[in-house]
Structure 1
């Protein structure tokens, strides 16, 4: 690509989001639990910008967990500038090996059989009563 931004799309809200995440090279987003779960399920590199006013700073904690796994770059609202964001996007998109490695790393956080595990646990609890 001539530019990391050649095929960029900016949208305020997506529903459903999974198809859009799957089509992206890198996703720039907040770091709520559902969004992080969707990134993990699909295995996409991301730049996470935690919502600073989130209860108990949970979005930054989510983001840092993904960053620690190697699946994201975290930029806090305090650190966020157009230049910093553009640099992060460019660094990831222009390095396909890094993009793929980040996607693989975040995928390790996914629990695709979570629903079954919860149902099994509830059934076990019910049987023990």
Structure 2
């Protein structure tokens, strides 16, 4: 389950971030700017329906995206032992939805697609374009 969530997180991160060069206009926010920050797992999209996270309140999963294209997934547990998974991310194409997340420990690359809510306070990460179109399965995160 954690690897599945990690892969979905990687997709989300990759999808939402844009690479920025030093000549970018800082007055205009890119999708990369919008992904930077801390995001909390809130549930899953299954067959087009949102299923809220039903784990204990003290258990939570956080995705942290940094502006320098690094990040980490933190799985917090009620027993106070946290699992931390560092990664790097980059945008891989002209589409704002396609990205690659690279597991910093294993080097495994995970492509994915992220779809932001209209207010950019939530996003859903999908493993594939078909999952996004069909809304078969995606993980939902909310900005903290």
Q: Larger Cα Rg: Structure 1 or Structure 2?
A: 1
Structure ranking higher on relative contact order (CA contacts 8 Å, 6+ apart): 2
- Would you say same fold, with TM above 0.5? no
Could you say which TM-score interval applies, normalised by the shorter chain?
Answer: under 0.3
Tell me which protein shows more helix as a share of its residues.
1
Tell me which protein shows more strand as a share of its residues.
2
